[in-house]
Amino acid sequence: MELFPDKYKLTKQQSLFLAKKKWDENIYCGMKMENRNITFPQTQTILNGVNVPSVTLDDIQAVLNMRDAWRYLFHAIDEPITLTLLCKLNEFVARNEALEWGVLRNGRVGSSGTDDVPPLPVQSEIEQELADLLAADMTTTERAITAFLWGARRQMFWDGNKRTSLLLANKLLVEHGHGMLTITEKNMERFNELLSAYYSTNEMSEIKRFLYEHAISGIDFEPERREPERAR
């Protein structure tokens, strides 16, 4: 029995509809993962092209960066997942936020809240890890969750690793019609606790289960109802 069976099986049209319907919530999820001081209504207002004076320019930039990353993802939804694609996503996500964006980092950086210092990313090693992940014997939903956690802890880029990895996970899910990965605000505190533990131990079983149970959403269709047969 599969531990993480796919919860949803949507058509391409349904999957893209879901992604476009929930992209504002997913962008907000990315902001809260970075502890940005911004509300969901403020995020929606910025995405609608309206200025919000109470939000800092840095937070506005971060929202617009995620908007552009999602627009690129919609355009590239059928493209193969490669390191080049990940770099392109990070180029949008971390634009004007990091030392460099869209390229593997070449300096050491620690993970916030832990003593973990990820090794410098080597292109050939990252490409092999990504290839192994994509070829692993698991459902798409498990692969997406694993890809998110791998990218977040691997710290390939100077900044925006969690947001880039969230986009990677949703590329997998949306492309194959298996819903979306979005961590809602009510689950963010527990998620951060589990993420910190995962960073320290590299043991992802508990946080994988948590994300599977609380962060995978889709379209729940009502079962078809048949009219009762009339007595003859």
- 161-201, pLDDT tens digit by residue? 999 999 999 999 999 999 999 999 999 999 999 999 999 99
pLDDT of residue 231 exceeding 60 = no
pLDDT of residue 21 exceeding 70 = yes
pLDDT of residue 221 exceeding 90 = no
Amino acid identity of 116? D
CATH architecture of 12-108+117-217: Orthogonal Bundle (1.10)
Q: How far apart are the first and last CA of the chain?
A: 46
Cα 148 to Cα 61, 155, 225: the distances in Å are 23, 11, 38
Amino acid identity of 6? D
How many other β-carbons are positioned within 10 Å of the β-carbon of residue 42? 20
How many other β-carbons are positioned within 10 Å of the β-carbon of residue 184? 15
Amino acid identity of 213? E
Coil, strand or helix: which one is 42? helix
Mean pLDDT for the chain overall:
92
Give me the pLDDT at residue 113, please.
60
> Tokens for 126?
């990252």
Backbone torsions φ then ψ of 99, nearest 5 degrees: -60, -45
> Tokens for 184?
């809602």
Helix (H) / strand (E) element for 21: namely: helix 12-33
Mean pLDDT, to the nearest integer, of 31-37? Answer: 93
Which range among 91-100, 133-142, 186-195 shows the weakest confidence by mean pLDDT? 91-100
CA–CA separation, 78 and 73 (whole Å): 9
Query: For the chain, what are the domain ranges?
Result: 12-108+117-217
Give me the pLDDT at residue 222, please.
77
Q: How confident is the model at residue 98 (pLDDT cuts 50, 70, 90)?
A: confident
Coil, strand or helix: which one is 26? helix
Helix (H) / strand (E) element for 180: namely: strand 180-181
- 108 versus 45: the higher-pLDDT residue is 45
pLDDT of residue 145 exceeding 80 = yes
Contact (CB, 8 A) for 84 and 168: no
> Tokens for 151?
């990218």
